[in-house]
Chains A and B, each alone.
Chain A
């Protein structure tokens, strides 16, 4: 087994373990940090697959996003420390069934499809970053600008929804 397969297996196992821990723990803040660990393990997997820019980007963005999720959990949930051991789920059997079916469908597709020849040579990271930049600002410029404008719209929308009207 190559080093890459070993690293992928290790990080993948960590991602799945902490993904399950998100919904099994009673403490809300621990749940948020568990999700952070899952996302960090995903970043590790991206680095193992030699997508260096994406791996570093994933690590950076998810740290900030999950910490923000932690503070929102603390603000809006009734038992953020988890010491009350409350049961906060509904339609458990349906969702368990849906989760298993979805996972198995993905599994079956992964194993049964004919993926074609596997590429062995990957461009080196500096070349990748350079070419990704060329792609981003050349061929995919419209997509890039649309993403930028949609982020701006989301910021304005979120701020507008939250701002309370001034009572004159």
Chain B
């Protein structure tokens, strides 16, 4: 039980750090790093639940594969959008992205 709690604690810690990063950074790429950390914490929790509670249910590992897929997909589309923005405006700073503000 202590190893399960240990893994969950690390997952919670990574989530907290990722949340801090995603909210405090002004640059798109750094925000994406925060999101990656949050997803990494979620992955760790999933694997810990699989290993310590239901090692015979492979749906847990399936879920991990899907979250990894989501990480890759989010990075791809995010960088595509970032590239388009950089070409249009010259920077990817989120503080300058105020076109839709009233």
Contacts and interface: CB of A to CB of B under 8 A. Distances in A.
B80 to A, nearest CB: 3
Interface residues of B toward A: which range?
Answer: 35 or more
A151 to B, nearest CB: 6
A12 B15 contact: no
A56 interface: no
Interface in B19-54: 19-30, 32-34, 36-37, 40-41, 43-44, 47-48, 50-54
Interface string A32-65: 1001001100100110011101100110010001
Interface of A is mostly: helix
Contacts, number: 239
A73 B29 contact: yes
Contact of A35 (B19, B36, B44, B48): B36
Nearest to A157: B77
Contacts of A20: 17
Interface of B: 1-30, 32-34, 36-37, 40-41, 43-44, 47-48, 50-56, 58-59, 61-62, 64-66, 68-69, 71-73, 75-77, 79-84, 86-87, 91-92, 95
A132 to B, nearest CB: 5
B80 A49 contact: no
Contacts of A132: 58, 61-62
A28 B79 CA distance: 16
A159 B52 CA distance: 41
Given A122-B51, A143-B62, A164-B87, A98 B29 contact: no
A89 to B, nearest CB: 5
Nearest to B54: A119
A154 B71 CA distance: 12
